[in-house]
């Protein structure tokens, strides 16, 4: 028994027993003998290439790396992952945690520094507890986040980032997006009659059963005959509630435009739900500017968020492989959404500034490994050059913000391997765009005006440091920027 704080005899004996090296050696021998029959193909080179491709895509969208420590001391956490983290006890008795996810530490830094606008990426291993005495699992994850901006423009960009990366490894026709909104999910529960205290259990149950299957697919429809009894008996839902949940799956999960029309007709009385539907409609309009069209976009009102902090728009990106036969399966590649709530929780209440909005996507990079380990799918050829030191801000002057035109031009620059971005607001003033360029250390602006595009099809290119500018034809803008970048904009002949 420890009688005084200075009496550490028992404590030292416990620690020395836990860290007994003879016991470790014996356990290691048993572990080695149990795994002799198993082999593991080394995918290190393939993963290196995938990481380089991911960095290239992230940097093209002008994100900067924010490094997350793989190991940190046990601290208070306002997310619900505490029980699933991998904990380590040091010989000195200190409790540590392996990195569980890459977002919360970033948000804590954003809050402590009162940052209002930022694009970041991080690529690192995250860890999960294993069952029994097995070693923890680890997964290679890439995160891309946008702090600031006006919804749903940042949401559209993080989806674009996920698709840009996905299309480097998969046929674009196999990539599909599943959308939902926190307020819409709540409205559907209210419409179906699911009580507040039952909603979490119902969401978790549906997530582990029917939501694993694609909306309107035969496999998903067949699940209802199996889970109906569990909803009635295990979760004690009424027949009426179960029937309404079934109806929601049939009518409100599927093609985005069709589902939106049905939801507006059903939830017209719910102001919060109508606002959520407006958010989804606006997001779809932004995605169409970037050629993200039907049928790859669906709405699934029964899909819960992958993290508790996604309380508004959230999404999942899948690769649908096979031809709906025995080998058909869906591979979850990325999850993301808006997490304003998380930033608000971390923000200093005494601060005079309001917490900014925030969106992010987490991408499972190991999912891009080829199914056949003996083939690398020519991954090395996926790498292309991105000039890391030069980026372009696509701006507008007048014309109501020219959001569509700015989005179209920035997409063309991304496709040409040029680092580019735009202020993620519908109608920012020219002063706001200059301030954005200064804050993000951007020296080159491509300024569009309504008259310039409609009458002369010209874009003004301006370099802030050199105080040079030139009107360039819209069709020749990429060539002009590429040539200018080769000389770091210093060649005087390019401005003549």
Q: What is the DSSP string of 198-260?
A: HHHHHHHHHHHTGGGS-TT-HHHHHHHHHHHHHHHHTS---HHHHHHHHHHHHHSEEEHHHHH
Length of the chain: 496
**Distance of alpha carbon 186 from alpha carbon 183, whole angstroms:** 5
Enter the pTM of the model: 0.88
CB-based contacts of 238, cutoff 8 Å, min separation 6: 193, 232
Burial of 475 (0-12, 13-18, 19+ CB in 10 A): exposed
Residue 145 annotated as part of some ligand binding site: yes
CATH C-level class of 392-495: alpha beta
Does the annotation place 309 within a ligand binding site?
yes
pLDDT of residue 211: 87
Taking only the tens of pLDDT, the chain with its 496 residues reads 555 556 666 666 666 666 666 665 665 555 554 444 444 556 888 899 999 999 999 999 999 999 988 887 776 566 656 567 888 887 777 888 888 899 999 999 999 999 999 999 999 999 988 877 778 889 999 999 999 999 999 999 999 999 999 999 998 889 999 999 999 999 999 999 999 999 999 999 998 898 888 888 888 888 898 899 999 999 999 999 999 999 999 999 999 999 999 999 999 999 999 999 999 999 999 999 999 876 689 999 999 999 999 999 999 999 987 554 444 568 999 999 999 999 999 998 888 899 999 999 999 999 998 876 555 555 555 666 555 457 999 999 999 999 999 999 999 999 999 999 999 999 999 999 999 999 999 999 999 999 988 888 899 999 999 999 999 999 999 999 999 988 888 888 888 7
Determine phi and psi for 73, rounding to 5 degrees.
-70, 155
**What pLDDT does residue 14 have?**
66
Paired with 393 in beta bridges are 421, 445
Instruction: Please tell me whether residue 469 adopts helix, strand or coil conformation.
Output: strand
List the chain domain ranges: 140-382, 392-495
| Fold that domain 140-382 belongs to in CATH | BirA Bifunctional Protein; domain 2 (3.30.930)
Please tell me the distance from the alpha carbon of residue 15 to that of residue 18, in angstroms, as a whole number. 5
- Residue 54's pLDDT is what? 96
Helices 218-233/239-251 angle, 10° precision: 160
Dihedral sign of CA atoms 279, 282, 286, 291 in order: positive
Residue 333: the pLDDT is: 96
Q: Compute the distance between CA of residue 333 and CA of residue 339 in angstroms, rounded to an integer.
A: 19
């Amino acid at each position: 028994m420890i009688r005084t704080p200075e009496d550490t005899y028992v404590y030292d004996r416990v620690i020395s027993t836990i860290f007994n090296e003879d016991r470790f050696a014996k356990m290691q021998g048993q572990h080695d003998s149990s795994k002799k029959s198993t082999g593991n193909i080394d995918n290190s080179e393939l993963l290196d290439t995938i990481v380089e491709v991911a960095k290239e895509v992230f940097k093209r969208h002008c994100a900067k790396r924010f490094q997350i420590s793989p190991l940190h001391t046990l601290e208070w956490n306002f997310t619900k992952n505490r029980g699933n983290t991998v904990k380590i006890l040091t010989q000195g008795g200190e409790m540590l945690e392996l990195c569980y996810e890459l977002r919360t530490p970033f948000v804590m830094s954003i809050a402590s520094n009162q940052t209002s606008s930022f694009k970041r990426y991080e690529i690192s291993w995250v860890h999960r507890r294993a069952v029994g005495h097995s070693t923890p699992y680890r997964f290679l994850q890439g995160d891309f986040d946008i702090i600031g901006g006006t919804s749903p423009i940042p949401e559209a960009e993080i989806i674009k980032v996920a698709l840009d990366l996905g299309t480097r490894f998969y046929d674009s026709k196999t990539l599909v997006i599943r959308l939902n909104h926190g307020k819409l999910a709540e409205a559907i529960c209210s419409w179906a009659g699911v009580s507040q205290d039952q909603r979490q259990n119902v969401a978790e149950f549906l997530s582990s059963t029917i939501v694993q299957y694609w909306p309107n697919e035969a496999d998903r429809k067949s699940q209802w005959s199996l889970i109906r009894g569990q909803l009635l008996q295990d979760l004690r839902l009424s027949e009426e509630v179960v029937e309404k949940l079934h109806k929601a799956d049939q009518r409100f999960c599927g093609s985005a435009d069709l589902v939106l029309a049905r939801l507006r007709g059903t939830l017209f009385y719910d102001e919060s739900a109508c606002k959520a539907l407006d958010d989804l409609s606006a997001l779809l309009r932004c995605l169409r500017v970037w050629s993200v069209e039907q049928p790859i976009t669906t709405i699934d009102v029964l899909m819960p968020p992958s993290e508790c902090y996604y309380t508004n728009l959230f999404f999942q990106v899948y690769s649908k492989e096979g031809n709906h036969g025995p080998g058909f399966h869906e591979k979850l590649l990325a999850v993301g959404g808006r997490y304003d709530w998380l930033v608000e929780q971390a923000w200093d209440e005494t601060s005079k500034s309001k917490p900014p909005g925030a969106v992010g996507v987490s991408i499972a990079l190991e999912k891009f490994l080829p199914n056949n380990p003996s083939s690398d799918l020519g991954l090395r050829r996926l790498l292309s050059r991105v000039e890391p030191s030069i980026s372009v801000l696509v701006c507008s002057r007048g014309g109501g913000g020219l959001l569509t035109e700015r989005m179209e031009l920035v997409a063309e620059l991304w496709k040409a391997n040029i680092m580019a971005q735009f202020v993620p607001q519908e109608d920012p003033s020219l002063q706001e765009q200059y301030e954005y360029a200064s804050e993000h250390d951007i020296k080159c602006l491509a300024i569009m005006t309504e008259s310039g595009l409609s009458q002369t099809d010209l874009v003004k290119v301006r370099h802030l440091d050199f105080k040079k500018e030139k009107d360039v034809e819209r069709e020749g803008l990429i060539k002009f920027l590429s040539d200018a970048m080769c000389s770091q904009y210093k060649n005087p002949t390019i401005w003549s």
